[in-house]
Amino acid sequence: MTETKKKTQSSATASTAGKIEEMYFSNLKPITVGEVVKGKIAQISKGEALIDIGYKSEGVISLSNFDSPEDLKVGDELEVLIESKENEDGMVELSLEKADFIKNWGRIQKAYNSGEIIKGKITKKIKGGFIVNIGIPGFLPSSQVDIEPLKNQDDLVGKEKEFKILKTNQWRKNVVVSHKAYLEETRDQSRKHLLETLKPKDIVKGKVKNITDFGAFIDLGGLDGLLHITDISWGRISHPSEVLAIGEEVELVILEIDKEKKRVSLGLKQKTADPWELVEKKFPLNSKVKGTVVNITNYGIFLELEKGIEGLIHISELSWTKHISHPSQMLSIGDVVEAIVINIDKANNKIALSIKRTEADPWLKLKDKYPKGSQIKTKVRTITDYGVFVELEEGIEGLIHVSDLSWASRVEHPSKLVKKGEKIEVVVLDVDPAQRKISLGRKQLLPNPWEEIDKKYKIGMETDGIVTKVADFGAFVELEEGIEGLLHISDLSANIRQAGIKEETSDLTAQENEKKSTLKVGDKIRVIVVRVSPEERKIGLSLAGINDKSSTEQKKSKKKAT
């Protein structure tokens, strides 16, 4: 082949190749930088996907740009943005993120302007919140995740939720979303619907949201209702947590609705019949019942007769005879006892019970057992200022009043005559079952020395005595056991003079102190009887050997006697 022929053939081949290349590129669609085009995944290799956009060269996108790279497969279609027709590797530069932004921004802005709720997937946790895919990456602040604080927010990644758009900035490509706002809006709509549709006696379902000492708050699905502790059970409970648990689903009755304050009162016990409706038939008056002690107070004991029915045994109804300062002395919580129904107040859900009335009243037989005038040997239990209590039998006490301890006109204190624990003999004066009182006497066992005292102690007679007490007004002198006379201070004046005490001072207090100082308790003295009054149980005395005062009194007394 000649050289000319070879050149001719080479030129023809180049011309043909050029025509083929021209035909190939003429079939390719034109692309423009910034344009969003459709493409297909041509190949997936480690860390990147090769995208065929129908151009002379493919583009490549890192797999990290995809939300779920594991779900990608060859042939999948997607939209991408042309950033550059050719990079240094001869590949078209593509952006999935910018394509999504352009494609979805209009929808996002529209949703923001209208307040529309959109769905999105939480893809990543970052500082201060989360990244959410709503077509473009959006920011979900931690404070906007939920109405109630979540224990573990890490569990949210990968979950789809509803969001409300709070803020947009196209220039910064910034979108802030809130799931909390969506929940609040949904709750408000639900609350409004519930308040419009609910009515008393409706049965509703709810979830226990919170428990307090006074009750539980129930989420009815956007509207919180209060279940008060008194409406949880017909029976006694000390705390709502005994019946309910947070997160538990319960069925309740609507008791009351306040639409203005948006409050709903709920009841749990109202789902069952009120046990008090049949209380009079189940526990008639005077019937004997059995129950369990569930509460003890200062004033009595509460007995549970059945679930929701309790009766009170007042402290006064515990025993006929025992002196009980607190009900816990007799019974403990959990004890099972029998009682008598003594009153029913159905309107106020009250039953009065009695334990002591399960037995006969022992006081009704005491009049026959301890007739008036009968003598009893007993033991001193308590000594008071006004008398002595003695025990006749278990739980039965009688009182010896201070005036019935001795015939003496003056008793300084009962403890001077008897001692606690001492065994003594008494006589029954009176038995009063209604007042639960037994009156006893001790002096009545001895003759009354005052009946013939005027015969034994004549006016003017001298006798010996012992000083038992010195007072401002004189001295008491014991003449015999149970018989005392008063030596008045005025009858001491002659004795003062005889003792050489000067009365020249006008200081009366000094004179009285000097007079008192002449006698002391225990002194044995000689006295003269100047007055005798059996009715008043009084004897007036003067010191023996004093003629002025005593003689005058003797003369007066004799004139009266005449």
Contact 237, 252 (CB under 8 A): no
Q: Please state, as a whole number, how many other Cβ atoms lie within 10 Å of the Cβ of residue 178.
A: 20
Considering the entire predicted model, what is its pTM?
0.50
Q: Per CATH, which fold does 115-184 belong to?
A: OB fold (Dihydrolipoamide Acetyltransferase, E2P) (2.40.50)
pLDDT, one tens digit per residue, over 410-440 is 777 899 889 999 999 999 999 998 888 999 9
Contact 351, 342 (CB under 8 A): no
pLDDT, one tens digit per residue, over 299-345 is 999 999 998 899 999 999 999 888 889 999 999 999 999 999 999 99
- Residue 96 tokens, joined: 């999935």
Q: Which band of pLDDT confidence, cut at 50, 70 and 90, is reported for residue 13?
A: very low
List the one residue out of 91, 94, 156, 147 whose CA is nearest residue 121: 156
Cα→Cα distances 449→374, 441, 465, 487, 532, Å: 22, 16, 17, 20, 13
pLDDT above 90 for 407: no
Q: Which of 16-25, 62-71, 183-192, 312-321 has the lowest mean pLDDT?
A: 16-25
Q: Please state, as a whole number, how many other Cβ atoms lie within 10 Å of the Cβ of residue 527.
A: 25
Superfamily of the domain at 198-271: Nucleic acid-binding proteins (2.40.50.140)
Cα→Cα distances 53→26, 31, 35, 90, 93, Å: 15, 9, 12, 14, 11
The CATH code of domain 276-358 reads 2.40.50.140
Half-sphere exposure of 481 (CA within 13 A, CB side): 6
The CATH code of domain 453-561 reads 2.40.50.140
- Residue 229 tokens, joined: 């502790």
- Residue 33 tokens, joined: 């930088």
pLDDT above 90 for 218: yes
List the one residue out of 478, 495, 483 whose CA is nearest residue 546: 495
- Residue 331 tokens, joined: 């019974």
At the top level of CATH, which class does the domain 29-114 belong to? mainly beta
In three state form, how does the secondary structure of 230-278 look? Answer: HHCCCCCCCCHHHCCCCCCEEEEEEEEEECCCCEEEEECHHHCCCHHHH
pLDDT, one tens digit per residue, over 147-160 is 887 777 878 888 89
Q: What is the mean pLDDT of residues 121-135?
A: 89
Same fold, 276-358 and 362-445: yes
The CATH code of domain 362-445 reads 2.40.50.140
First to last CA, the chain: 202
Would you kindly state where each structural domain of the chain is located, as residue ranges?
29-114, 115-184, 198-271, 276-358, 362-445, 453-561
Cα→Cα distances 545→221, 258, 527, Å: 110, 101, 8
Contact 63, 49 (CB under 8 A): yes
- Residue 121 tokens, joined: 């997937």
